Amino acid sequence: MAHLTAGVEYGLHCLLWLASSPGTPLSSRDLAEFQGISPSFLAKIFPKLEKAGIVSASEGIKGGYLLARQPGDITVLEVVDAIEGRKPLFDCQEIRGRCAVFRERPPSWATKGVCAIHAVMLRAEKAMRDSLASQTLVDIAGDFGRKAPPEFSDDVRKWLADRTKSRTRNGAIEDGALS
Amino acid sequence: MAHLTAGVEYGLHCLLWLASSPGTPLSSRDLAEFQGISPSFLAKIFPKLEKAGIVSASEGIKGGYLLARQPGDITVLEVVDAIEGRKPLFDCQEIRGRCAVFRERPPSWATKGVCAIHAVMLRAEKAMRDSLASQTLVDIAGDFGRKAPPEFSDDVRKWLADRTKSRTRNGAIEDGALS
DNA sequence: ATAACGCGGACTATATTAGTCCGCGTTATG
DNA sequence: CATAACGCGGACTAATATAGTCCGCGTTAT
């Protein structure tokens, strides 16, 4: 699979919806169904975002998640690291020290500092991370907000509100969503 | 495992040794043993470099690989793509089109153009690739060449030459390399 | 003829990713 | 106070990718 995983994709999509619904906690289950992704998988992603201080959780019925900070203060890099745990782009195996002309232990000049190949990869990783760090949730949301017609955001609000209501005011145990 | 794989690492290390031994073909088996890596795995990497026009192969005993171009004309990005096959950093699943408020098929405004999240990832990937493209084998070799003492390059030449000779001039079936 | 070469395909083992399932303590509602 | 949905966490499974092995083929210098 790709280095930037589906978990990151799901997390970012959810954070954008949280950004568009400030003040109202959204549950991970609702967010999953709303976007047609796996609720149980999404449930494993949110605790990571919470530990990273990106979202804040409230428990119990009517609970859910809120953005813990302003969307403009949350970078894509933070989200990636929160979900994937800072995995490196490249895993140097120190081949340079295994050279056959080094009997037993390699000399210190050969293993001192960062391997030149590793250094190239670290620079590439830094370029990637800098790029991700330069974008916030606001930057991403802007693109989408400009494309959507005004009625859409009402439809979304309505869909999510209906979900929240069905948990408190009863009578919607059997709703219109058939298989 | 990491996105930039062990295959790339092995390939780059080998290419550096090829760059330091112009005109003399080196076999993938010798290169593997010289660096303490798996000969059979390395044997799967070189054909990819050959198809990409990075090395040229000669068959038969005394065969092996040569750099097909000047080391300064071979970028790290080319090597990565040759070995890994241009795998993307991120695999967009078009979550945006699955929104529950879209009954059946999503409207065209929602799926037109590149997903905003995907666009961020593509920019990050480009930053990474640009960084890799800016470095050639010469750039990497420079770092290492400066560190090694003069005697080292002689030792290497000797080790490799002994290997090549043991294929042509016989008498070295049992050499000093004990377990 | 031999031995080592590159080439390619089939195969295996291990790690990661994606996803499921279940049980716990919490909390608003009726 | 029972219920139902919530977040949390751990154990589990399935699919895929990576790393590595093995074997047989045609080629080529000795």
Q: What would the DSSP string read from start to end of B36-81? A: TS-HHHHHHHHHHHHHTTSEEEE-STT-EEEESS-GGG-BHHHHHH
**Per-residue pLDDT at B174:** 39
What's the mean per-residue pLDDT of chain B? 92
pLDDT band at A149 (very low <50, low <70, confident <90, very high): very high
% pLDDT > 70, chain A: 93
What average pLDDT does this structure show over A34-62?
Answer: 98
CB atoms closer than 10 angstroms to residue B60: 6
CA distance A17 to A27: 11
User: Residue B104 pLDDT more than 90?
Assistant: no
Point out which residues pair with A65 in neighbouring strands.
A26, A57
Residue whose C-alpha is closest to residue B96's, from B75, B114, B82: B114
pLDDT digits (tens, 9 = 90+) for B32-77: 999 999 999 999 999 999 999 999 999 999 999 999 999 999 999 9
Q: What is the pLDDT of residue A179?
A: 32
| Res. A175: pLDDT tops 80 | no
Quick one: average pLDDT of B147-175? 77
Residue A6, pLDDT score? 98
| Mean pLDDT, rounded, for B95-114 | 92
> Of the segments A30-39, B146-155, B158-167, which one has the largest average pLDDT value?
A30-39
pLDDT band at B26 (very low <50, low <70, confident <90, very high): very high
Average pLDDT, integer, range A109-118: 94
Domain B6-85+136-168 has CATH 3.30.1180.10: no
pLDDT of residue A169: 57
Instruction: Point out the residue among A87, A95, A147 whose CB comes nearest to the CB of B109.
Output: A147
Three-state SS across B103-152? Answer: CCCCCHHHHCCCCHHHHHHHHHHHHHHHHHHCCEHHHHHHHHHHHCCHHH
- CB under 8 Å to A169, separation ≥6 — which residues? none
**B5 CA to D24 C1' distance (Å):** 28
- pLDDT over 70 at A101, yes or no: yes
3-state secondary structure of B172: coil
Nearest CA of chain B to the CA of A18: how many Å? 14
- For residue B10, the model assigns a pLDDT of 98
Categorize the per-residue pLDDT at B176 as very low, low, confident or very high, splitting at 50, 70 and 90. Answer: very low
- Of B160, B134, B31, B153, the C-alpha closest to B80 is B134
Q: Across the A/B interface, how many CB contacts are shorter than 8 Å?
A: 165
Select from B63, B96, B85 the least CA-distant residue to B8.
Answer: B85
Q: Does A176 touch chain B (CB under 8 A)?
A: no
Long-range contacts of B162-165 (CB under 8 A, 24+ apart): B163/B27, B163/B30, B163/B34, B164/B24, B164/B30, B164/B62
| CATH classification (class only), A6-88+136-168 | mainly alpha
How far is B89 from A66, CA to CA, in rounded Å? Answer: 29
CB nearest to A93's CB, from B9, B89, B120: B9
Supply the pLDDT for residue B168.
Answer: 66
Arithmetic mean of pLDDT, A98-122: 93
Average pLDDT over residues B154-165: 89
pLDDT of B175 above 60: no
State how far residue A136 is from chain B, nearest Cα, in angstroms. Answer: 10
- Cα–Cα distance between A4 and A80 in angstroms, integer? 7
Q: What are the residues whose beta carbons fall under 8 Å from the beta carbon of B164, sequence distance 6 or more?
A: B24, B30, B62
State the pLDDT at residue A168: 66
| CA atoms of B72 and B88, how far apart (whole Å) | 26
Lowest mean pLDDT among A73-77, A82-86, A123-127, B146-150: B146-150
Q: Is the pLDDT of residue A170 over 60?
A: no
**Residues with Cβ < 8 Å from A158, sequence gap 6 or more?**
none
CB B128 within 8 A of CB B3: no
Q: What is the mean pLDDT of residues A16-25?
A: 96
Q: What whole-number distance in Å separates Cα of residue B164 and Cα of residue B156?
A: 12
pLDDT of A178: 34
Residue B165 is predicted with a pLDDT of: 77
Measured between alpha carbons, how far is B36 from B47 in angstroms, rounded to an integer?
20
